[in-house]
Chain A
Amino acid sequence: MLLILRTMNDTVGDFLYRNGTTLFFSFFRRQPLKLFFSTVLMILAAFSSMVPAILVGKAIDILESEGFSQLFIFYGIGVLISGVFFYLISFIGLFTFVTLSFSFERDIRQEYFDTIQSHSLTFFDEHNSSHLLSMGMTEISQMRQGIVPALRAIMQNIFSVLFIVAAIYSIAGLQMTLITLVGFIVYYILAVYQARRITPVRMKLADTAAELTEQSQEIFRGIDVVRSFKGTVREILRFRKMSKRYSDLGIREGRMAAFYLPNLALLLLTAALFAMSVNKVTLLQMSVGDLIQVMGLLVTLQLTSMMMPQMLLFLNAAITNANRIWEKMNWQDPQPDKEITEVPEINWKGELRFENVTFGYVNSKRPALKNLSVSIPPGSKVALIGGPGSGKSTFLKLLLKLYVPQEGRITISGVDYEDIPHQIIRQHVSMVEQEVFLFSGTIRDNIAFARPDATDEEIMVAAEAAQAMEFISKLPKGLDTMIGERGVDLSGGQRQRIAIARAILADPDILLLDDSASALDSKTEELLRKALDNLSENRLTITVTQRLTTLLKADLIILLKRGSLLAVGKHDELLDKCMEYRRIFELLPESERILAKGGIQ
């Protein structure tokens, strides 16, 4: 019970975000002390990087008046010291800030995963999983790049500018200060405007690149189909068109980046200040050393401003990405779970009922299940049959409360499913799916997935019952053999038996089996049949199947068609009273033996 409460309390991380921008700037709220510390160091670094320019100017004035004097040497040493000072300050400040940005990236990634994992399956039906992945990896990395290098560089640039404005005021007076100030304001306005203009093109460029890659990958994955259906030329033309579109967009973006006006503004500002300084020197209002200071400061600033256009684009991209990510995190379930305050007592060994259940997937044309009513007595072995699209898998998913019916209700021992938290339901109901999903890791991890605390003996018993021990013991490391990405390849039948062992170990009261297809050879099929028999012992079992033996042994057969209940009953009854069932049964390839004279073993 503790576990359940913890999971339910797991909401959107530690912060609540109003929008993507708040999400991005939550960076500032995370570790304020460290941030303050590194910002102070950043200001000091900005200051010390400007010092040499000033000292050089002063030194030259001294050189002109006093020659190679002690004071001159003092200024020279000052430059040296400010270099060392800058090195220390800048390293510590930078490192602190960079570490903050990495922990930001880590935290956002975790919050992102935890939040979307807590969304219902409807979310995952609506979203392309490779997009969700690239958001979690690339786009969150880009959010971090919005902090380091972008935000950091922009902050340092602003500090430098403020420092320069102050220095010019003390050297050259109000008039030149005002011009400098106006120059920088124009510079920033132009830079921000330019970044705003390019950002959407860049985003589109990135999307087009992703599309182009997807297109190419898709063709090569299905190259045999493309070739044997004579699609090669068509695909080449299609790719060429897409590639051209990408290239045109790239040219457009490249040309927008050319003729970068902020740089011109900065260059002209330098020229203007140069001319004004020269004028002041001739009017004896300024010394030549002062002129050298002004020019030195501006040259330093030009060097640090070189990356500004890029940095502003990073920042814009980061905020756009933050908004995309926030949208996914803030997804609203069209059919939210009912809030449950009190968990009722439930007898899981009781009767299971569907009462006028209707359910349709989001955007679906017709409901997957329509006004379905059926009651399943305790402990029954149920066979669920029907064609593709008849609603079989939906039936199973509703029983796991992966989805909630829009009308009607499902009850267990009379308790409405709506009143039971899904965590509790999933402790008592397990499914073996048709297309088995195994996690990378050892076979042991996979079998013990539902119960990480299971003992070796329990795992072996489950694997034995699932007829899986036979092949597991032949593997080099037995239960500890790695499967998945960098492990051994398992066949379809082997994967299915591991999934069965996983379900046996979970020991559910209600077992759901999706066993509708069989791409297996007959030997594997036999093993699987035995495993399924073991699994369904002593519990209510609902199997989607067309395995003859399962149909014959079933206590109850439920026949679905287009989401509606067509017939329900035992095999013999249905064979007599339901034409549709008889037709299906006769079409099953092995049925003639049963109908003739053979039987089940």
Chain B
Amino acid sequence: MSRHGAMFADKSRTRSSRVLMGIFWNYLSPYKGLIGFVAILTLIYTLSVTYQPILVQQAIDSLLSGSTLASLISLLIIYTSLSIFAWLSQSLITWFMAKVQNELVHSLRVDTFEKLSEADMAYHAQVQSGNVTSRVINDTQQITSGLNVFTTSLTNILVAVATLSVLFSISFWFGLISLLALPTAGIITKVISSKGKERMLNVRSSLGRVSGKLAENLSGVAIAKSFNQEDRTSQEIKKLNDQTFEYFKKLGAMFTLIFPSITMVSMVMISLILFTGGYMSEQGLITSGAIYLGTVMVRRFLSPILALSNNITNLQASLAALDRVVDVLQTQPAVHDAPNAEPLFITEGEISLENVWFKYKVNKVASKDKAIASMKGKQMAGMKGKPMTEMKSRMTEMKGRSIVGTKDNPITEMKGRQMAKMQGHPENGNAIKSREDEWVLKNVSFVIPGGKKTALIGHTGAGKTTVTKLILRFYDPDKGSIKIDGQDLRSIKLASLYDSISLVTQEPYLFAGTILENIKYGRPDASDDEVYEICRIIGADEFIDALPDGYQTVISESGKSLSAGQRQMITIARTMLRNPKILILDEATSRLDAYTESLVQIAQNKLFEGRTTLVIAHRLSTIRDVDQIVVMDNGEVVEIGSHEELMAVKGKYYELYNTYYAHQGIELLQ
């Protein structure tokens, strides 16, 4: 194993091959019996295919010495039976391995998914959903294909060893000649593939650019049409497409060399065997049948050895994938239930923040994932590709087979990114890096009274959204504590927290499924009538009725056919239906037009009467009648009070309020 360890050493991994193999073996343990059986079948297969040419040799030699058909009958029967054995054993191997492989990838996939869906929000805030999915789908698939490669390699080694021993047993020289073929073939493939590697990367990144441009132009088709620029977008694609073709041609020139070269090498070997054999036969050292056997075996010896060298690269990729998956499987989330956690018990619904300090930290697993993603991004510009294995594999591998469409989904990723950009949330994505080591909340203390409405206002980046994330315990504060009705969030069961609290964000998120299912997401047992009633109250029924299937309309592509405002209406209806005891609205109505927003607010006031509510809003005119306003600036609370009180103070709030109206172009009432 230690020899293998050196063979598969890889700097990008944190665990040794031995540790990884150990972990992998644990996953394989339910199939130990089956795998043992497959090993026996592999042996049978190897022996059958190796023995057949020997039978032919025996036949040749007996025929040359004048044997009759009758004496050869048993030989012919054995030959035919070996054909059937070989076929049967190979079929059984495929049959059993199909089960092992697919069940294995299933259990790895489900475990990884489960772990990631419970991972810290810090992780998810930093890793794009596409890359998270790549852990779940592609890496687990790669691990299992490693198993496949491993078993084929094993067969290859067995066949090669058996073939070589036959060659040596015929003649020492035959064995030596065959061994000579190895470095020759090795050098040829090495030279070609090391040059080909670069060309392969060129092709990948060029294809990635085509894919990115295609994704973009498909998303922007309405704009291209509106400005009469279809010719231009077509030309853009053409340029990248032509470039890709040139790269493909260069790559093609390399890998079309492989097959002819190897075939040539084996033909050279055959002629060498022929010469040596002929010379030895002249000395009476060897029979004609043995020469024939030599020519057959030398050819058979090359292919498993060549396959083996390709497989090593492939195995390395699998081990790297396994390493990444193990990272996920062995990480304990930082935010989790304490051992003695108790369910949250709400009486008043009062939330208090006491001397809270907080900063965003780079998540360890996430930063590793991001490093991988950016590395890949450089190489292939958004196209998720497999690591470079052999060049031929690109041509032979059936891409559609296991992971079509999983490889890249630039459209959804792109959309996600555009949206993230549009909302300009400081707590999103890249912003985290720049704010590392910087306190986002500095000694924040305030009380959100139970059953009342509190507004949180301040400039972008003041820390408002961070407060909501801490209340939802997506993160734990570094210092200080957050309590609901006196119970510290760290001492209660997470599940019970989410029973009582709901969040509506600025970015409306819809699931694939019908509108009805989306609204019922938080309360699957609600009746349809309840849904209709809520939609009627907030005025969402008007657009839902106009959709092809009304409430049964299926949302696709995160609701592409709906406007942002319509999507937000659905998320508001979803929360209203759930009717939680504590409600957090983070710019929840920012994508609605002002009129609809007013309608929603009237409905909210009615439905959420007596609920603890925390509101973040840009439109200051909408928060005038809340019970309490907390003004934040640069991570600190600067003012607390009602609208009238704060206006009278003429401080930060007064300033914000007045510039707001000035910016609306409306004269001030002095």
Tell whether, in the assembled complex, residue A426 and residue B226 are in contact, meaning their CB atoms are under 8 Å apart: yes
A220 to B125, CA, bound (A): 10
A287 to B532, CA, bound (A): 90
Instruction: Kindly name the residue among B238, B295, B593, B598 whose own CB sees the greatest number of chain A CB atoms within 10 A.
Output: B593
Residues of chain B within 8 A of A521, CB atoms compared: 459-460, 618
Tell whether, in the assembled complex, residue B80 and residue A80 are in contact, meaning their CB atoms are under 8 Å apart: no
Q: Which 9 A-B pairs have the closest CB atoms?
A: A254-B98, A389-B543, A83-B267, A210-B405, A589-B621, A526-B663, A258-B94, A247-B106, A522-B663
Residues of chain B within 8 A of A60, CB atoms compared: 288, 291-292
Interface stretch, picked from A226-234, A339-347, A374-382, A458-466, is: A226-234
Tell whether, in the assembled complex, residue A90 and residue B409 are in contact, meaning their CB atoms are under 8 Å apart: no
A422 to B86, CA, bound (A): 67
Tell whether, in the assembled complex, residue A426 and residue B595 are in contact, meaning their CB atoms are under 8 Å apart: no
A43, CB-defined interface residue at 8 Å: no
By beta carbon, the residue of chain B nearest A141 is B399
Q: Can you sample 14 A-B contacts with CB below 8 Å? A: A7-B228, A117-B234, A129-B219, A134-B405, A213-B137, A218-B512, A231-B521, A274-B59, A388-B565, A402-B226, A439-B216, A449-B223, A484-B216, A517-B565
* Other-chain residue from A68, A98, A113, A388 in contact with B542 (beta carbon distance below 8 A): A388
A448 to B591, CA, bound (A): 28
A390 to B430, CA, bound (A): 38
Tell whether, in the assembled complex, residue B548 and residue A364 are in contact, meaning their CB atoms are under 8 Å apart: yes
By beta carbon, the residue of chain A nearest B599 is A587
B594, CB-defined interface residue at 8 Å: yes
Instruction: Kindly name the residue among A139, A203, A251, A263 whose own CB sees the greatest number of chain B CB atoms within 10 A.
Output: A251
B172, CB-defined interface residue at 8 Å: no
Tell whether, in the assembled complex, residue B252 and residue A221 are in contact, meaning their CB atoms are under 8 Å apart: no
* Other-chain residue from A52, A142, A227, A255 in contact with B400 (beta carbon distance below 8 A): A142
Tell whether, in the assembled complex, residue B216 and residue A90 are in contact, meaning their CB atoms are under 8 Å apart: no
User: Which A residues, 465 to 482, have Cβ-Cβ distances below 8 Å to chain B?
Assistant: none
A240 to B99, CA, bound (A): 17
A521 to B616, CA, bound (A): 12
Residues of chain A within 8 A of B67, CB atoms compared: 282
Residues of chain A within 8 A of B72, CB atoms compared: 278, 282
Tell whether, in the assembled complex, residue A244 and residue B133 are in contact, meaning their CB atoms are under 8 Å apart: no
B379, CB-defined interface residue at 8 Å: no
Tell whether, in the assembled complex, residue A246 and residue B106 are in contact, meaning their CB atoms are under 8 Å apart: yes
A236 to B136, CA, bound (A): 12
Shortest CB-to-CB span from A129 to chain B, Å, is 5
B641, CB-defined interface residue at 8 Å: no
Size class of the B contact interface (CB-based, 8 Å) = 35 or more
Tell whether, in the assembled complex, residue A393 and residue B401 are in contact, meaning their CB atoms are under 8 Å apart: no
Tell whether, in the assembled complex, residue B407 and residue A138 are in contact, meaning their CB atoms are under 8 Å apart: yes
* Other-chain residue from A149, A205, A221, A588 in contact with B416 (beta carbon distance below 8 A): A221
Tell whether, in the assembled complex, residue B83 and residue A267 are in contact, meaning their CB atoms are under 8 Å apart: yes
Tell whether, in the assembled complex, residue A485 and residue B212 are in contact, meaning their CB atoms are under 8 Å apart: yes
Tell whether, in the assembled complex, residue B409 and residue A251 are in contact, meaning their CB atoms are under 8 Å apart: no
Residues of chain A within 8 A of B402, CB atoms compared: 205-206, 209, 250
A193, CB-defined interface residue at 8 Å: no
Residues of chain B within 8 A of A133, CB atoms compared: 211, 214-215, 218, 410-411
Residues of chain B within 8 A of A427, CB atoms compared: 228
Shortest CB-to-CB span from B305 to chain A, Å, is 15
Known: A84-B264, A600-B667. A589 touches B622 (CB 8 A): yes
B661, CB-defined interface residue at 8 Å: yes
A271 to B92, CA, bound (A): 21
User: Which A residues, 288 to 326, have Cβ-Cβ distances below 8 Å to chain B?
Assistant: 288, 291-292, 295-296, 299, 303, 307, 310, 313-314, 317, 321
* Other-chain residue from B117, B133, B253 in contact with A236 (beta carbon distance below 8 A): B117
User: Which B residues, 369 to 416, have Cβ-Cβ distances below 8 Å to chain A?
Assistant: 382, 395-396, 398-412, 414, 416
Shortest CB-to-CB span from B97 to chain A, Å, is 7
Tell whether, in the assembled complex, residue A600 and residue B506 are in contact, meaning their CB atoms are under 8 Å apart: no
A278 to B417, CA, bound (A): 72
Tell whether, in the assembled complex, residue A288 and residue B64 are in contact, meaning their CB atoms are under 8 Å apart: yes
B217, CB-defined interface residue at 8 Å: yes
Residues of chain B within 8 A of A79, CB atoms compared: 267, 270-271, 274
Shortest CB-to-CB span from B65 to chain A, Å, is 10
Shortest CB-to-CB span from A64 to chain B, Å, is 6
Residues of chain A within 8 A of B249, CB atoms compared: 99, 102
Q: 10 new A-B pairs (CB below 8 Å) besides A257-B98, A295-B292, A589-B622?
A: A3-B228, A72-B278, A91-B260, A137-B408, A210-B405, A212-B137, A217-B409, A518-B594, A522-B618, A526-B664
Residues of chain A within 8 A of B423, CB atoms compared: 492, 519
By beta carbon, the residue of chain A nearest B247 is A102
Residues of chain B within 8 A of A549, CB atoms compared: 664-666
By beta carbon, the residue of chain B nearest A502 is B227
A529 to B564, CA, bound (A): 21
Residues of chain A within 8 A of B446, CB atoms compared: none
Residues of chain A within 8 A of B221, CB atoms compared: 117, 121, 124
By beta carbon, the residue of chain A nearest B214 is A136
Residues of chain B within 8 A of A258, CB atoms compared: 91-95, 98
By beta carbon, the residue of chain B nearest A101 is B252
A365 to B540, CA, bound (A): 16
Tell whether, in the assembled complex, residue A222 and residue B666 are in contact, meaning their CB atoms are under 8 Å apart: no
By beta carbon, the residue of chain B nearest A264 is B87
B168, CB-defined interface residue at 8 Å: no
A593 to B219, CA, bound (A): 42
A325 to B547, CA, bound (A): 28
Tell whether, in the assembled complex, residue B590 and residue A519 are in contact, meaning their CB atoms are under 8 Å apart: yes
A263 to B88, CA, bound (A): 11
Known: A149-B395, A601-B666. A590 touches B263 (CB 8 A): no
User: Which A residues, 558 to 589, have Cβ-Cβ distances below 8 Å to chain B?
Assistant: 562-563, 584, 587-589
* Other-chain residue from A102, A270, A303, A517 in contact with B591 (beta carbon distance below 8 A): A517
Tell whether, in the assembled complex, residue B133 and residue A216 are in contact, meaning their CB atoms are under 8 Å apart: yes
Residues of chain B within 8 A of A490, CB atoms compared: 421
Residues of chain B within 8 A of A291, CB atoms compared: 59-60, 63
B116, CB-defined interface residue at 8 Å: yes
Interface stretch, picked from B19-27, B553-561, B627-635, B644-652, is: B553-561
Shortest CB-to-CB span from B571 to chain A, Å, is 8
Tell whether, in the assembled complex, residue B95 and residue A259 are in contact, meaning their CB atoms are under 8 Å apart: yes
User: Which A residues, 406 to 428, have Cβ-Cβ distances below 8 Å to chain B?
Assistant: 422-423, 426-427
Tell whether, in the assembled complex, residue A229 and residue B405 are in contact, meaning their CB atoms are under 8 Å apart: no
Instruction: Kindly name the residue among A134, A228, A231 whose own CB sees the greatest number of chain B CB atoms within 10 A.
Output: A228
Interface stretch, picked from B1-9, B107-115, B310-318, B482-490, is: B107-115
Residues of chain A within 8 A of B592, CB atoms compared: 388, 517
Tell whether, in the assembled complex, residue B566 and residue A388 are in contact, meaning their CB atoms are under 8 Å apart: yes
Tell whether, in the assembled complex, residue B212 and residue A310 are in contact, meaning their CB atoms are under 8 Å apart: no
* Other-chain residue from B231, B412, B662 in contact with A130 (beta carbon distance below 8 A): B412
Residues of chain B within 8 A of A257, CB atoms compared: 94, 98
B224, CB-defined interface residue at 8 Å: yes
User: Which A residues, 109 to 155, have Cβ-Cβ distances below 8 Å to chain B?
Assistant: 109-110, 113-114, 117-118, 121, 124-125, 128-130, 132-134, 136-139, 141-142, 145, 148-149
By beta carbon, the residue of chain B nearest A263 is B87
* Other-chain residue from A229, A299, A518 in contact with B578 (beta carbon distance below 8 A): A229
Residues of chain B within 8 A of A172, CB atoms compared: none
Q: Mark A537-570, 1 if CB is under 8 A from B, else 0.
A: 0000000001111000000000000110000000
* Other-chain residue from B136, B245, B260, B596 in contact with A94 (beta carbon distance below 8 A): B260
* Other-chain residue from B103, B414, B547, B550 in contact with A485 (beta carbon distance below 8 A): B414
Tell whether, in the assembled complex, residue B241 and residue A110 are in contact, meaning their CB atoms are under 8 Å apart: yes
By beta carbon, the residue of chain B nearest A299 is B296
Interface stretch, picked from B31-39, B151-159, B359-367, B494-502, is: B494-502
